[in-house]
Amino acid sequence: MTNIAERPSRTKLTARQLASLRSQLEADRERTGMHIDTVTDEMGAFVTARRDTATDDEHDPEGPTLAFERSQSSAIRGQSQQHLVEIDIALLRMDEGRYGLCKSCGNEIALGRLQVRPQAALCISCAEHVR
């Protein structure tokens, strides 16, 4: 059985490179998950703090600050959750043997890019095109 297609259907990354990228992804996944937990706890603390001061709104100088911090935390959590989704997709693509191939054009994503951004789903030229 010979593969005559010009376009790569599987990554040319070596098993060793894939293993290294996978451990990077898994470490990042764990870190991001812990970060989300921390931010979620902080948000819970904000809610409690606001509830405690809610009876005295007029004399609560911390009110607007807490609301601001809470919205910041919410934005950070959203970004982290998005990051987690990207990592999960990358791991899934790895399981399917499609990891390292650009989602848009199907070409190989440069190893240097994957080492910096192992969750990257687009090659550099496609990523720049999107922006």
* 53 or 104: CB nearest Zn ion: 104
The nearest distance, CB 121 to Zn ion, in angstroms, is 9
The nearest distance, CB 113 to Zn ion, in angstroms, is 11
CB 18 within 8 A of CB 94: yes
Q: Kindly tell me the burial class for residue 64, based on how many C-beta atoms sit within 10 Å of its own C-beta (0-12, 13-18, 19 or more).
A: exposed
Torsion, Cα 18 23 28 33, to 10 degrees, reads 120
Site for Zn ion in 92-131 (CB under 5 A): 102, 104-105, 123, 126
Q: What's the rounded Cα separation, in Å, for the pair 116 and 21?
A: 10
* 96 or 128: CB nearest Zn ion: 128
* 45 or 105: CB nearest Zn ion: 105
* 102 or 120: CB nearest Zn ion: 102
Structural tokens at position 128: 């720049």
66 binds Zn ion (CB under 5 A): no
| Interface ranges with Zn ion (CB under 5 A) | 102, 104-105, 123, 126
